[in-house]
Amino acid sequence: MNNYLLTLCFDGSDYHGWQVQSNALTVQSRLQDAIEQILGVRESVTGCSRTDAHVHADMFCCNMRTQKEMAPNKLQTALNAVLPRDIAVLSVREVPLDFHARYDCTGKSYRYLILNRTVRDPFLEKRALHYPRQIDTAALNCEAQGFLGTHDFSAFCASKSTVEDKVREIRACSVQRNGDLVEFYVEGNGFLYNMVRIMVGTLLEIDSGKIEHGVIPYILADCDRTKAGVTAPAHGLYLHRVYYE
Q: Which residues pair with 36 in a beta bridge?
A: none
Rounded to whole angstroms, the Cα distance separating 161 from 164 reads: 8
Nearest alpha carbon to residue 200 among 163, 97, 211, 9: 211
Is 121 assigned a catalytic role? no
Which listed residue (52, 86, 152, 180) is catalytic?
Answer: 52
Q: How far is CA 23 from the centre of its chain?
A: 22
Contact 4, 93 (CB under 8 A): yes
Helix (H) or strand (E) holding 74: helix 72-82
In order of 13, 130, 230, the CA distances from 124 in angstroms are 11, 8, 22
| Angstrom distance (rounded) from CA 89 to CA 7 | 6
Q: What is the DSSP code (8-state) at residue 135?
A: P
Q: How far apart are CA 152 and CA 225, in angstroms?
A: 12
Core vs surface per residue 221-233: b (16+ CB within 10 A) or e: eeeebebbbebbb
Q: Which residues are catalytic?
A: 52
